[in-house]
């Protein structure tokens, strides 16, 4: 059993507070994706756990024991970096074996261990190559093999797929979860790519402005983002946001967005009168009947192909821009310049407090609107 906990950890560089009293707990065998914008402090967090730098305050516990007093080489932590950080004068084999060499001699055990992990990662045929004679994908696998070879209890992966091409990244996203599960390590996986975080993380910790803005399963974070900022980090195209006002009349709760009125679940009644920001994900925007209640008229300003989908940029009668990504049929009635009547199911609408940016959760107990 290896659990890792950070309690009120603060890290500063000069006047800059990079991590501001952050707390986090990671379960045994869990893969936790650390996701956040560039410069958020993701690498610093891993370096603290690895013992490459020390916090100004707080504690880092492994199985309840304070790690800060434990020398880096005794922490049972493996780490792979985004730039691979391979020793250029050593072969792939020697690079992978390096963490084992640092430990008391194990003779043949080292060669067996290196070959086993190299086979698993499909680099056994290039073990004699120097790093300069490896492709980027092979370098990345060599770095990963080096991190895994000592069967560390905790594996720290710092954006390991950033410098590999899109095809390999896609393959590794599918392969890595199985591989990591096989090792049984507790994994902290840093990435700047929300899709990677969602594909690989059992949970995701969203690091922003020196704090965890939200920690939860991929589904929780996507469907119930804690703040507007978190909602904007997940999804492509980005979530549509509108200034709105919530109204409750005759038991019906609606949001006024410009000239349009959108029906909301009754559970948002308590938000009435409050200025809010209304969020609708592009895939939740649907076409509705012209003139139907809660519909918005909008003109298609542009069609933007995105992977297998057609994204549309629409402009409402009030001049607000927003994206849709559902299949509206490729007929000319939804082409550039067409006027569409669109809406969203009440349960697909998110509300955020305009001032704080925090999501407003609907009150489930409020039940259905009074007919
Ligand atoms: N040794 C250091 N001395 C001073 N400042 C540092 C040091 N290491 C990191 N920083 C600063 O800490 C902040 C966080 O850096 P970090 O590398 O953790 O970001 P990150 O979230 O990993 O970003 P990216 O996704 O771009 O790799 C940055 O502003 C960086 O300049």
% residues pLDDT > 90 (the chain): 46
Cβ atoms of residues 343 and 284 within 8 Å: no
For ligand 1, whether the C-beta of 41 sits within 6 Å is yes
For ligand 1, whether the C-beta of 64 sits within 6 Å is no
Could you tell me if 19 and 147 lie in one domain?
Answer: yes
Which has the minimum average pLDDT: 78-82, 206-210, 337-341?
Answer: 78-82
In a domain, 335, yes or no: yes
Could you tell me if 314 and 173 lie in one domain?
Answer: no
Neighbours of 66 (CB within 10 A): 11
**Residue 12's pLDDT band (cuts 50, 70, 90):** very high
Domain with 324 in it: what CATH number?
2.40.50.140
* Mean pLDDT of the region 134-150: 85
In a domain, 272, yes or no: yes
**Residue 368's pLDDT band (cuts 50, 70, 90):** very low
pLDDT tens figures, 151-174: 788 889 998 887 777 887 888 788
Q: Which atom of ligand 1 is least distant from the CA of 36?
A: 21
In the prediction, which pLDDT does 46 show? 94
For ligand 1, whether the C-beta of 11 sits within 6 Å is no
Q: Give a three-class secondary structure readout of the chain.
A: CCCEEEEEEEEEECCEEEEEEEEEEECCCCEEEEECCCCCCHHHHHHHHHCCCCCCEEEEEECCEECCCCCHHHCCEEEECCCCCCCCCCCHHHHHHHHHHCCCCCCHHHHHHHHHHHHHCCCHHHCCCCHHHCCHHHHHHHHHHHHHCCCCCEEEEECCCCCCCHHHHHHHHHHHHHHHHHHCCEEEEEECCHHHHHHHCCEEEEEECCEEEEEECHHHHHHCCCEHHHHHHCCCCCCEEEEEEEEEECCEEEEEECCEEEECCHHHHHHCCCEEEEEECHHHCEECCCCCCCCEEEEEEEEEEECCEEEEEEEECCCCEEEECCCCCCCHHHCCCCEEEEECCHHHCEEEECCCCEEECCCHHHCCCCC
Q: Judge if ipTM > 0.85.
A: yes
On the question of pLDDT at 1 being above 70, the answer is no
pLDDT tens figures, 272-297: 988 899 999 999 999 887 766 778 88
Give nearest CA residue, ligand 1 atom 17: 43
| 261 CA distance to ligand 1 middle (Å) | 45
Range of the domain at 313: 235-366
pLDDT tens figures, 73-105: 778 888 877 666 788 888 888 888 887 776 655
On the question of pLDDT at 315 being above 80, the answer is yes
Domain count of the fold of the chain: 2
| Domain closes at, from 176, 192, 225 | 225
Could you tell me if 39 and 92 lie in one domain?
Answer: yes
Could you tell me if 38 and 172 lie in one domain?
Answer: yes
- Between 144 and 360, the more confident residue is 360
Could you tell me if 65 and 142 lie in one domain?
Answer: yes
In the prediction, which pLDDT does 371 show? 38
* Mean pLDDT of the region 312-336: 84
Residue of 43, 46, 158, 161 best suited for mutating to test ligand 1, as the one with most atoms within 8 Å of CB: 43
Give nearest CA residue, ligand 1 atom 20: 39
On the question of pLDDT at 148 being above 70, the answer is yes
Could you tell me if 197 and 152 lie in one domain?
Answer: yes
- Between 184 and 38, the more confident residue is 38
For ligand 1, whether the C-beta of 332 sits within 6 Å is no
For ligand 1, whether the C-beta of 15 sits within 6 Å is no
In a domain, 321, yes or no: yes
- Ranked by mean pLDDT, the top range of 170-179, 199-208, 319-328, 331-340 is 199-208
In a domain, 259, yes or no: yes
On the question of pLDDT at 364 being above 70, the answer is no
Distance CA 92, CA 128 (A): 6
């Amino acid at each position: 059993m290896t659990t890792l906990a950070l309690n009120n950890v603060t890290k500063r560089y000069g006047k800059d507070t990079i991590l501001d009293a952050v707390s986090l707990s990671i379960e045994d065998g869990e893969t936790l994706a650390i996701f956040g914008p560039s410069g958020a402090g993701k690498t610093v967090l891993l370096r603290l756990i690895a013992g490459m730098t020390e916090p100004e305050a707080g504690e880092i516990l492994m199985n309840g024991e304070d790690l800060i007093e434990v020398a880096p080489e005794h922490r049972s932590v493996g780490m792979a970096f985004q730039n691979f950080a391979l020793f250029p004068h050593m072969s792939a084999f020697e690079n992978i074996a390096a963490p084992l060499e640092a430990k008391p001699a194990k003779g043949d055990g080292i060669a067996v261990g290196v070959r086993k992990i190299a086979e698993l990662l499909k680099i056994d045929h290039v073990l004699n190559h120097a790093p300069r004679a490896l492709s980027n994908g092979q370098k990345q696998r060599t770095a990963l093999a080096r991190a895994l070879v000592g069967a560390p209890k905790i594996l720290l992966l710092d954006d390991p797929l950033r410098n590999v091409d899109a095809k390999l990244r896609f393959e590794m996203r599918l392969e890595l979860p199985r591989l990591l599960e096989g090792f049984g390590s507790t994994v902290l996986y840093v990435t700047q790519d929300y899709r990677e975080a969602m594909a690989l993380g059992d949970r995701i910790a969203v690091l922003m402005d020196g704090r965890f803005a939200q920690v939860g399963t991929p589904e929780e974070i996507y469907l119930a983002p804690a703040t507007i900022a978190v909602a904007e980090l997940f999804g492509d195209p980005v979530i549509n946001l509108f200034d709105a006002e919530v109204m409750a009349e005759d038991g019906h709760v609606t949001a006024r967005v410009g000239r349009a009125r959108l029906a909301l679940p009754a559970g948002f009644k308590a938000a009435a009168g409050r200025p809010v920001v209304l969020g609708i994900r592009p895939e939740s925007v649907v076409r509705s009947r012209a003139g139907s209640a809660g519909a918005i008229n909008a003109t298609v300003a542009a069609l933007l192909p995105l992977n297998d989908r057609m994204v549309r940029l629409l402009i409402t009668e009030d001049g607000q821009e927003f994206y849709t990504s559902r299949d509206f049929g490729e007929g000319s009635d939804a082409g550039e310049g067409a006027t569409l009547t669109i809406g969203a199911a009440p349960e697909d609408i998110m509300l955020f407090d305009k001032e704080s940016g925090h999501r407003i959760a609907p009150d489930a107990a409020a039940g259905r609107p009074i007919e």
